[in-house]
Structure 1
Amino acid sequence: MAKHRIYTTSFASVYPLYVAKAEKKGRTKAEVDQVISWLTGYGQTELEAQLEQGTDFETFFAKAPKINPSRTLITGVVCGVRVEDVKEPTMREIRYLDKLIDELAKGKAMDRILRKSAS
């Protein structure tokens, strides 16, 4: 079975869309970066390096410094698919990120987005 094309898509090409979605709803780029850092463990400098290098999604998640173990607390539907039901590991990580960006854009409190009360 062929890989989904999102795996070879540059993270840098989608990142501005995440930021635009958040900013459209009154959130900030810094909050998007905070969500990404929480999920992946990338610091600001490392994240910017990944963006500059044009790293694809598969590599972005494969080389993430520290995937957050609390990410399994992320549940819900993204694009009609329950994130907790996604079997393929890389696609599940992408869906987790999509869900976090959705929650940010919907105005949820950062503590809830980062699952602080549950962890």
Structure 2
Amino acid sequence: MQIQINTDSNIHGGEDLIRQAEERISSILERFEPHLTRIEAHLSDQNGDKGGPEDKQCVLEARPTGQQPVAVTNRADTVEAAYTGAADNMAKLLDSRFGRLHQAKGGESIRHLPVE
């Protein structure tokens, strides 16, 4: 799974920020690796130098194999909180999406459990 981090001109941190973001996003989404080809994170500072509450934003886009891309957005006070929150939101979305794909109507029910 390839992870690409993009930042706007107001986000500073360089290679350290990119490495930390890649590692954090990867650790949260690693269980979906067989289903994803790429993840893109777009980090931005909505207010620039002015600051303000929840002005850091992360738009996280995942590309599931053979499906349309999905995206989530998270705003927070820090860049780290923004990409961590976005990765958590993406995990919930992917849990829902892949859970539905693997659940078939008429699957196993409680009646099929072994009797002790």
User: TM-score when scaled to structure 1?
Assistant: 0.31
Structure number with greater CO (CA < 8 Å, separation at least 6) is 1
More strand by share: 2
Q: Bigger radius of gyration, 1 or 2?
A: 2
More helix by share: 1
